[in-house]
Amino acid sequence: MAYTTDLAKIDTLIAANPNWSGITSEAVARMRLQNRFKTGLDIARYTADIMRRDMAAYDADPANYTQSLGCWHGFIGQQKMISIKKHFGSTKGRYLYLSGWMVAALRSEFGPLPDQSMHEKTSVPALIEELYTFLRQADARELGMLFRDIDAARAAGDIAREKQLQQSVENYQTHVVPIIADIDAGFGNAEATYLLAKKMIEAGACALQIENQVSDEKQCGHQDGKVTVPHEDFIAKIRACRYAFLELGVDNGIIVARTDSLGAGLTKQIAFSKEPGDIGDLYNSFLDCEEVVDASSINGDVIINRDGKLMRPKRLPSNLYQFREGTGADRCVLDCITSLNNGADLLWIETEKPHIEQIAGMVDRVREVIPNAKLVYNNSPSFNWTLNFRQQVFDAWVKEGKDVSAYDRAKLMSVDYDATELGAEADERIRTFQRDAAKRAGIFHHLITLPTYHTAALSTDNLAKEYFGDAGMLGYVKGVQRKEIREGIACVKHQNMAGSDLGDDHKEYFAGEAALKAGGAHNTMNQFAA
């Protein structure tokens, strides 16, 4: 961040405008640094470059996988990135995820909704903009504190300290990181997808995740009743997203193509096919059909030709067609290859459980065709991680011939198994899941879709239980405030976090000594200085 270089340019600008009384170059330079990103498109271009570099680093070494957490509010995303910078010193490899599920459940004007694309389209780009507003404010706050430290060092005549702080400003790492944003199934046809994609990119999204479900039948990825679309329909939406990126000059934009085929047993359409073996024919080949032996039995049915035989696809009373049982993995592989061959950059395979070999089995097949295929994977709260991994360990031990008589597979969730060898091994597998899956199953990006939905509920429950119980005010003090102070949580100074000190700085720029500032001796925030 060329702070000193910018100062010289601003000096020249102010000198050319002598009527700009009271305007100082240092104040302008500071405000510019605190607002590095002027538009959402600036953010999208900057973060797309980050993702592309991270993808290349992963291709070189799968240990370079990336991570994110789903955040349903700007403040939550802000606090997450502040925490990451505090604990790890860098935001490298850490993103944000914008979950359509949480938008539906928490951000819809209709109130809480299931993840069925029933929320307003505008709520998604609005949340992207909100997240980046809070991340930019985190930059402004942290830089503001550095500037105050510079002023203090200067006033004390500590030149070495001042230079050190100036260097920190020059090398400042922003809280602004990539957001992978869920565009669901596009909220309509390809044109609707394109229009929404533009809004999301203009808000700052560098990566759009789109799924191959029917828009008006869309279901949460971990619920039943999912309905997929033929590949040509999905390809049109991938193209729509790419056109949106290119129109807006975000040439490096990333498209994440999600397939729900593993759990989706239904389709709304028979795919159009020009010739045997084309993509439409391959899609139709998975349909559950019965041979027509008597033409008189046809009553308004759709009939297809399969290997020279007339076949009737099974159609449900809902007018949906059914795929053959057990074809999910094959359809996922076809979906993935087709998406990557038609403009997608990353894949997302929605699974019903966190099982590395299940994921790897499909990825291996995709990589036979496209060697650098990479996944974004949902480390979903919809999985019972404890139970799944204890069952995986149990089954592995049985296969190895190990004695499992001390364990009841049907009751492995029990607290009685927490301190056992099986429980410990399962926990270790959970701990290393992301690293192991990145290496074995091609997972470039690990995310948890809706963790902050659960953490908000849990922390609120803990506080309510104590505060409204016998602990009273101690429930808040001991359970929240004392921990904030001792663990260095920035929000303990909530006025500072909300921008009070930033406002004081601006007041001083605007009014000089006449500024009425909030941060005086009587500000109770001073109680948290120790």
3-state secondary structure 501-530: HHHHHHHHHHHHHHCCCCCCCCCHHHHHCC
Q: What span, in angstroms and rounded, lies between the C-alpha atoms of 273 and 278? A: 7
Cβ atoms of 55 and 437 closer than 8 Å: no
Which residues, other chains included, contact 104 with Cβ-Cβ below 8 Å and sequence gap of 6+? 112, 113, 114, 115, 116, 117, 118, 119
- Average pLDDT score over residue span 110-138: 91
Higher pLDDT among residues 330 and 308, named by residue: 330
In DSSP terms, 311 is beta-bridged to 291, 304
- Give me the residues paired with residue 313 across strands: 289
Active site residues: 220
* Residue 83 pLDDT: 97
What is the 8-class DSSP label of residue 99? -
Q: Report whether pLDDT(174) > 90.
A: yes
Closest CA to 145 of 484, 488, 490, 486: 490
Share of the chain above pLDDT 70, in %: 98
**Overall average pLDDT of the 382-397 stretch:** 96
Write the pLDDT tens digit of every residue in 182-239: 999 999 999 999 999 999 999 999 999 999 998 777 666 666 668 999 999 999 999 9
Are 516 and 510 in contact by the 8 Å Cβ rule? The answer is no
Collapse the DSSP code of 9 into the 3-class scheme (helix H, G, I; strand E, B; otherwise coil) and give the result: helix
d(CA 394, CA 404): 7
DSSP letter (8 states) at residue 220: -
293 SS3 class = coil
Question: CB–CB of 244/210 below 8 Å?
Answer: no
Beta bridge partners of 312: 290
Work out the average pLDDT over 142-155: 95
Domains of the chain, start order: 1-34 (no CATH), 40-156+175-271+326-386+439-457 (3.20.20.60), 480-514 (no CATH)
Count CB neighbours of 420 within 10 A.
15
Residue 94 near residue 67, CB atoms below 8 Å: yes
Contact present, 397 and 429 (Cβ < 8 Å): no
- Identify the three-state secondary structure at position 74: helix
| CB-based contacts of 432, cutoff 8 Å, min separation 6 | none
